[in-house]
Amino acid sequence: MAGRTVTRVDLCEAVYQKVGLSRTESSAFVELVLKEITDCLERGETVKLSSFGSFLVRQKGQRIGRNPKTGTEVPISPRRVMVFKPSAILKQRINANGAMPMSTEESDENTAQSASGG
């Protein structure tokens, strides 16, 4: 699955294949879990999934940013942002076999940055 984007449909299919629910029940199950996570985050609650990680909402204050084209200062409004913090177990599993090979696109970007000195 490296380099591939997993969608809701893929998650529903995995539940269908591994749990044995019907496709309709699998879809409803995945949607219910995602809705519950979303509802908790909207209320500002932290969602902690053992051995996976935590989703949390952070409040960011107002700050001054810059328009990259003109250099003009622009106020950035206060807002809430969602953050995912992977667990140590997940980090360890991801890095267990060493660094994953880069996709062709990532490799091209790094080559271009090196050539431009950035």
Domain assignment present for residue 32? The answer is yes
Number of domains in the chain: 2
Domain assignment present for residue 1? The answer is no
Residue 14's domain spans which residues? 7-43
Residue 22: count of CB within 10 angstroms of its CB: 9
Long-range contacts of residues 41-49, Cβ cutoff 8 Å, at least 24 apart? 41/82, 44/80, 49/87
The per-residue pLDDT string of the chain (118 residues; one tens digit each, 9 = 90 and over) reads: 468 999 999 999 999 999 989 999 999 999 999 999 999 999 999 999 999 999 999 999 999 999 999 999 999 999 999 999 999 999 999 998 766 555 555 555 554 444 444 4
Domain assignment present for residue 118? The answer is no
Distance CA 32, CA 23 (A): 14
Same domain, 38 and 50: no
